């Protein structure tokens, strides 16, 4: 380029220094009436051949008569082409421009390429059009330098158009491009790449595997050829001049790169090399060296352009000398545009036209094949095709006779154009049931199952060159079995890698700003992988950048949902009626029961049978409220009513109306219950892609697919699904496993994915179903690199598998699982049958009734036992009272019949020994007075008087006298009734008659012990011997009734002589050694019994022992006179209580200082206790 500018500057200098010579014409230049010139001179710089000049002049004269037809005259001015470009430029100025030429036709010298450029520079300075007929350098296409240059021959770079057509015809998709680093080589590469981009739009992409540029003029090109030998492509496109091509072919022959399997396609210059190998295909421009033919076509186009310019008018004369500077010839620009627009349909060189750069288009080429002539033992070029313009289709077409082509190695069959590798790098992705993975640790000796599994290391795209970055897995599944079949059928080996990345999508690279494929497809496009054997969906976006085999499985897109169980609530048996109706029914039951009760109660005929004798009418039980409720529920629930029916006519009428109501309610409930339970269906599943829930989803209804998958591309591509795509765009999952897990956990309502995978999941899990019909039908194919030689073989193998039934076997083995029977029970289309799930509420209701009944029976049993204990205590008290009442009556009658009783009354008290003993007071002795019955201490007035006398002699000890009344039946009945009504604790013994005995051995310890007050009426009587008096004291637990009772008179007149000094031990405690006689004991017992009966309503808390009451003052009655009475009531009750309450504890209470308390049982303090 710099060399061209150097010549341009040289020409400008020469023009400035040359003095123009005046060109005088004897005749004045003629003009037409519009002022336009009528004579036009056409210049020519031609080769030195004489016949060329003559042909040039003859054609101009012919055109003047045929085209101009007298409107204007054409003149010629021709010069011979000099090999020196400077001389050529001077000639143009002196011989052509001074003659006012309107256009110049330039040819090419036999030696030298710069002379046409000097003509173009010189004429272009004044904008005089120059038409070349032999120059093919691409530099003339640059209009910044050659502003007015046109040519009837195409540049060398236009051979790329023919190369692309040859690739389309041979179906080569991968090649290596070799070119020189000059302008023509780079221009050829640029045009070739532009044309191949047009093929991508036609889904016929051509991949240039490697572009190798070399510097021309080298002595060896071995290094360049070694680089391209590593490529997989074996189709080489070569642009080089003849010398460089000779060296390249020689080095290629040395490397054995010109033999069988290789394809060489070269340009015209390289085809002229003497070392061109046999089988090479090259191009030759038709009429490229026919100068006369190009002169003929050029002058015809120029004559038509001048005629158009003349018809337009406003023509100025051409420049006349090279000394004029700074003024452009505007008519020259117009003429250039007119020439560029011309089209010559039937020219000598074919159809002639120009593009925007002024280059010839529609140039015709011959396709030449270099073949060996075995007879003459030399190579020759054989034309095997043509690239020409078709008048029928109005475009350029390529026709080849492939049968006559001899390929390198003298092969008649077209080479594949690729080095077919026998070991392929295969990628797959984990997706059930097509690919399963199992992690193993080879260091522990773990291996894969050789019959069903293949070792597949983990593939990390970002760490492909890092050692140890792979983890070993064992892969199995549908696609693994398919890979084994393909390798066996196509005879290749492979190394399998499993990837957990996505399939791949077209996304913009943030660094480069270009759209690039990622994922598995990105690895295939980059050439990292040779094959993808996975459930890879065939779609148009992917097919632009990769090859697909025929589908090995046809499928579509469907929707996965979780099966909704039949809606069966816990209270489903209540669904036939609304809750308001249930409440009204319950209220009606009790209202009707109340009405029945009232009608039957107040009806005059409700409680009596009607009979013939009104006087003998029998009264019967009326219908109580409980029976009325039972009757109302029995009629409603259609249960038999055996008793408790209404007796009155009015109540029975109401009962019949209630029965009719119950019949209607029960019938309606039964009908609705059957409808609810049988027609209890789940929520309807989706009907398909057009379901309203997908088109206009609610907030709680979510659906999604896998990001970057073919399904994602499908929704992105379909305009009618754009709303759905925007809805689920931000909810996509990274893998199908995550989405299916979300559907099971009800985090995702619907998952849209390939039907094969979803049908497999639905077959394995009965809780999942596929909804709707298939849409977006497509297929799974094996992915290969663009132009892969294995594409056809893999496709043929898959078609053969379909025909032989092997693909069906794989479907049955991995996808179609035989578990239809397991999911049949959950089929929504199966007849609805009732089960525990439907009726569990009724069973729970029965269970609640059973538990409630058990609870009530426990309460009833506890209550009944309590009542039985109360009744038993009452019966025992009544029996004891009756027994002792009879004994008292018998003893009283016996006593009244005895004479000694009367004598006892008159004679007073006398001890058994006949002497009285003085009682020396040593200490105070505490007795429970309330335990003693309220009776007379002395049976008669005489004894009472004797006691009073004893009181006076002893210092005034108070002696209380009780009045013994008769025991009447009413008091006993009242006491028994009170015992029945009052609640008595089961652990509390009933009251007993007075206790009368102390143990002589334990008298001391017994006197030290005392019990706490046991009754609300109990009190303590303290006999203070020191003070000579008896002080009664109340128990802290005495009740209000005891305080309202009439005060008891104090016991007085008890003489200390009753207590003998010998009866006190040394410890200050009384020693009870005196034993009363039989008569004394009987007398005391009778009086105690009498007082016990009189005090039934106020039962005693404790009684004094008979031995304590024995003293010389009491009479001694012989046992032979009075029979010994039965044991006292106190002992009887104790025996009964020991049997009923074994292990009952006695409580001991320590008396205050100076006092001693008598031990007693802890009896209940409630007034209701007996």
Lowest mean pLDDT among 523-532, 764-773, 904-913: 904-913
535 is in an annotated binding site: yes
| Confidence (pLDDT) at 207 | 82
CB 368 within 8 A of CB 271: yes
How buried is 701 (Cβ within 10 angstroms: 0-12 exposed, 13-18 middle, 19+ buried)?
middle
CATH topology of domain 157-287+365-404: Rossmann fold (3.40.50)
Q: Is 710 annotated as a binding residue?
A: yes
Domains 2-153+289-361 and 157-287+365-404 share a fold: yes
Q: Between the CA of residue 202 and those of 168, 196, 550, what are the distances in Å?
A: 11, 10, 20
And the tokens for 394?
């109005």
Question: Where is 210: in which H helix or E strand?
Answer: strand 207-214
Check if the beta carbon of residue 1063 is closer than 8 Å to that of residue 1072. Answer: yes
pLDDT at 823: 64
pTM of the model: 0.50
User: Could you count the other beta carbons within 10 Å of the beta carbon of residue 982?
Assistant: 15
DSSP class of 612: S
* Higher pLDDT pick, 527 / 1139: 527
Is the pLDDT assigned to residue 1007 strictly greater than 50?
A: no
Range of weakest confidence among 204-208, 317-321, 547-551, 676-680: 676-680
Say if CB 841 and CB 571 are below 8 A apart. Answer: yes
Mean pLDDT throughout 249-268? Answer: 93
Alpha-carbon distance 107 to 564, whole Å?
Answer: 88
Write down the domain spans for the chain.
2-153+289-361, 157-287+365-404, 423-552, 572-611+622-678, 692-778+807-824, 871-1150
Give pLDDT, residue 1157. 42
Mean per-residue pLDDT of the chain: 74
pLDDT band at 1074 (very low <50, low <70, confident <90, very high): very low
Q: What is the band of 83 on the pLDDT scale with cuts at 50, 70, 90?
A: confident
Per-residue pLDDT band at 32 (split at 50, 70, 90): low
CATH superfamily of the domain spanning 692-778+807-824: Periplasmic binding protein-like II (3.40.190.10)
Determine how β-strand 750-754 pairs with β-strand 703-704: parallel
| Residue 1150 marked in a binding site | no
Q: Is the pLDDT of residue 298 over 80?
A: yes
Pair of tokens at residue 419:
């080095």
For residue range 825-860, what is the model confidence (pLDDT) as tens digits?
Answer: 555 554 455 555 655 665 676 567 668 767 877 888
The Cα 66–Cα 300 span in angstroms is 10
| Superfamily (CATH) of domain 423-552 | Periplasmic binding protein-like II (3.40.190.10)
The total of other beta-carbon atoms located within 10 Å of residue 1091's CB is 24
pLDDT in tens, 397-454: 999 999 999 999 888 889 988 888 888 999 999 888 899 999 998 888 888 988 889 9
Over residues 603-628, the pLDDT tens digits come to 776 554 444 455 554 555 667 888 88
Q: Which two tokens stand for residue 467?
A: 């050692």
Enter the CATH code of domain 2-153+289-361: 3.40.50.2300
- Is the dihedral angle over the CA atoms 845, 847, 850, 852 positive or is it negative? negative
What is residue 264's predicted lDDT score, i.e. its pLDDT? 95
pLDDT at 555 (0 to 100): 86
Using DSSP's 3-state secondary structure scheme, residue 140 falls into helix
Beta strands per DSSP E along 57-147: 73-80, 101-106, 130-132
Helix (H) or strand (E) holding 389: strand 378-390
pLDDT tens track for 101-110: 999 999 877 6
CATH of domain 572-611+622-678: 1.10.287
Q: Is 1076 annotated as a binding residue?
A: no
110: number of CA atoms within 13 Å, CB side?
4
Q: How far apart are CA 184 and CA 976, in angstroms?
A: 140
37 annotated to bind ligand: no
Does residue 570 or residue 533 have the better pLDDT?
Answer: 533
């Amino acid at each position: 380029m710099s060399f061209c500018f150097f010549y341009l500057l040289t020409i400008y200098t020469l023009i400035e220094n040359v003095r123009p010579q005046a060109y005088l014409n004897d005749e004045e230049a003629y003009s037409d009436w519009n002022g336009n010139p009528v004579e036009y001179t056409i210049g020519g710089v031609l080769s030195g051949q004489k016949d060329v000049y003559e042909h040039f002049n003859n054609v101009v004269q012919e055109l003047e008569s045929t085209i101009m037809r007298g409107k204007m005259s054409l003149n010629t001015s021709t010069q011979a082409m000099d090999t020196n470009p400077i001389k050529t430029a001077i000639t143009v100025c002196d011989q052509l421009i001074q003659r006012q030429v309107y256009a110049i036709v330039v040819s090419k010298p036999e030696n030298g390429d710069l002379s046409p450029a000097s003509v173009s520079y010189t004429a272009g300075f004044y904008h005089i059009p120059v038409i070349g007929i032999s120059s093919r350098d691409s530099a003339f296409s640059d209009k910044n330098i050659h502003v007015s240059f046109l040519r009837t021959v195409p540049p060398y770079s236009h051979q790329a158009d023919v190369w692309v057509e040859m690739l389309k015809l041979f179906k080569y998709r991968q090649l290596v491009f070799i070119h020189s680093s000059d302008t023509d080589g780079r221009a050829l590469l640029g045009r070739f790449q532009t044309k191949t981009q047009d093929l991508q739009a036609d889904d016929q992409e051509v991949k240039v595997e490697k572009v190798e540029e070399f510097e021309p003029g080298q002595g060896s090109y071995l290094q360049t050829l070694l680089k391209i030998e590593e490529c997989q492509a074996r189709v080489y496109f070569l642009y080089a001049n003849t010398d460089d091509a000779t060296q390249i072919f020689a080095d290629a022959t040395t490397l054995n790169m010109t033999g069988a399997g290789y394809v060489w396609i070269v340009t015209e210059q390289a085809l002229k090399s003497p070392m061109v190998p046999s089988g090479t295909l090259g191009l030759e421009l038709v009429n490229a060296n026919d100068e006369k033919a190009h002169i003929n076509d050029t002058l015809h186009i120029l004559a038509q352009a001048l005629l158009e310019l003349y018809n337009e008018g406003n023509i100025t004369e051409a420049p006349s000398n090279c000394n004029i500077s700074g003024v452009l010839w505007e008519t020259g620009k117009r003429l250039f545009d007119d020439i560029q627009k011309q089209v010559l349909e039937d020219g000598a060189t074919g159809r002639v036209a120009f593009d925007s750069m002024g280059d010839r288009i529609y140039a015709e080429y011959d396709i030449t094949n270099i073949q060996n002539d075995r007879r003459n033992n030399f190579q020759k070029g054989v034309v095997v095709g043509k690239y020409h313009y078709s008048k029928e289709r109005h475009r350029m077409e390529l026709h080849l006779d492939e049968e006559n082509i001899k390929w390198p190695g003298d092969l008649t069959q077209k080479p594949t154009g690729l080095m077919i590798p026998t070991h392929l790098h295969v990628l797959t992705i984990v997706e059930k049931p097509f690919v399963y993975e199992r992690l193993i640790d080879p260091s522990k000796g773990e291996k894969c199952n050789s019959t069903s599994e293949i070792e597949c290391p983990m593939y990390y795209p970002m760490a492909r060159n890092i050692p140890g970055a792979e983890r070993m897995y064992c892969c199995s599944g549908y696609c693994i079995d398919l890979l084994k079949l393909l390798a066996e059928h196509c005879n290749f080996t492979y190394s399998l890698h499993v990837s957990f990345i996505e399939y791949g999508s077209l996304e913009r690279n943030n660094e480069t700003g270009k759209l690039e494929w990622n994922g598995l497809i990105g690895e295939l496009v980059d050439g990292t992988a040779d094959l993808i054997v996975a459930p890879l969906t065939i779609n148009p976006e992917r097919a632009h950048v990769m090859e697909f085999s025929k589908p090995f499985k046809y499928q579509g897109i469907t929707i996965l949902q979780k099966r909704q169980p039949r809606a069966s609530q816990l209270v489903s048996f209540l669904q036939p009626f609304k809750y308001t109706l249930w409440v009204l029914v319950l209220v009606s039951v009790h209202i009707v029961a109340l009405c029945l009760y009232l009608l039957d109660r107040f009806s005059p005929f409700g409680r009596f049978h009607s009979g013939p004798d009104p006087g003998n009418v029998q009264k019967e039980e009326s219908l109580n409220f409980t029976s009325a409720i039972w009757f109302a529920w029995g009629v409603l629930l259609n249960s038999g009513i055996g008793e408790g029916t209404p007796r009155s006519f009015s109540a029975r009428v109401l009962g019949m109306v209630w029965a009719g109501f119950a019949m209607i309610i029960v019938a309606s409930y039964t009908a609705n219950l059957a409808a609810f339970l049988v027609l209890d269906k789940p929520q309807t599943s989706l009907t398909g892609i057009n379901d309203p829930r997908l088109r206009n989803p609610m907030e709680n209804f979510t659906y999604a697919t896998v990001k970057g998958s073919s399904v994602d591309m499908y929704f992105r591509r379909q305009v009618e699904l754009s709303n759905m795509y925007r809805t689920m765009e931000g909810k996509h999952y990274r893998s199908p496993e995550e989405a299916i897990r979300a559907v099971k956990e009800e985090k995702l309502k619907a998952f849209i994915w390939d039907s094969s995978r979803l049908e497999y999941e639905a077959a394995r899990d009965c809780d999942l179903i596929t909804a709707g019909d298939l849409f977006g039908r497509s297929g799974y194919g094996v992915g290969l690199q663009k132009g892969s030689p294995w594409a056809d073989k893999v496709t043929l193998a898959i078609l053969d598998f379909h025909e032989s039934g092997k693909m069906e076997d794989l479907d049955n083995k991995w996808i179609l699982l035989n578990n239809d029977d397991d999911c049949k029970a959950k089929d929504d289309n199966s007849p609805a049958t009732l089960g525990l799930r439907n009726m569990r509420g009724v069973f729970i209701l029965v269970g609640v009734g059973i538990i409630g009944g058990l609870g009530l029976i426990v309460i009833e049993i506890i209550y009944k036992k309590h009542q039985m204990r109360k009744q038993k205590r009452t019966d025992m008290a009544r029996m004891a009272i009756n027994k002792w009442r009879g004994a008292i009556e018998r003893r009283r009658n016996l006593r009244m019949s005895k004479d000694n009783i009367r004598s006892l009354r008159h004679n007073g008290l006398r001890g058994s020994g006949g002497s009285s003993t003085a009682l020396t007071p040593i200490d105070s002795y505490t007795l429970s007075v309330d335990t003693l019955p309220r009776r007379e201490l002395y049976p008669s007035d005489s004894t009472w008087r004797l006691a009073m006398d004893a009181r006076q002699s002893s210092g005034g000890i108070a002696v209380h006298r009780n009045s013994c009344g008769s025991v009447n039946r009413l008091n006993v009945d009242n006491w028994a009734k009170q015992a029945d009504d009052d609640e008595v604790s089961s652990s509390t013994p009933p009251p007993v008659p007075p206790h009368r005995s102390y143990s002589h051995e334990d008298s001391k310890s017994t006197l030290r012990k005392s019990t706490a007050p046991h009754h609300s009426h109990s009190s303590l009587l303290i006999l203070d011997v020191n003070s000579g008096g008896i002080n009664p004291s109340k128990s802290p637990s005495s009740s209000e009734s005891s305080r309202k009772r009439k005060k008891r008179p104090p016991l007085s007149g008890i003489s200390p002589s009753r207590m003998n000094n010998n009866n006190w031990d040394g410890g200050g405690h009384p020693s009870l050694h005196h034993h009363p006689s039989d008569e004394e004991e009987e007398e005391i017992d009778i009086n105690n019994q009498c007082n016990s009966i009189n005090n039934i309503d106020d039962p005693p808390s404790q009684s004094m022992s008979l031995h304590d009451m024995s003293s010389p003052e009491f009479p001694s009655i012989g046992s032979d006179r009075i029979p010994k009475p039965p044991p006292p009531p106190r002992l009887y009750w104790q025996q009964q209580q020991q049997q009923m309450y074994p292990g009952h504890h006695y409580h001991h209470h320590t008396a205050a200082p100076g006092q001693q308390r008598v031990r007693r049982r802890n009896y209940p303090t409630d007034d209701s206790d007996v």
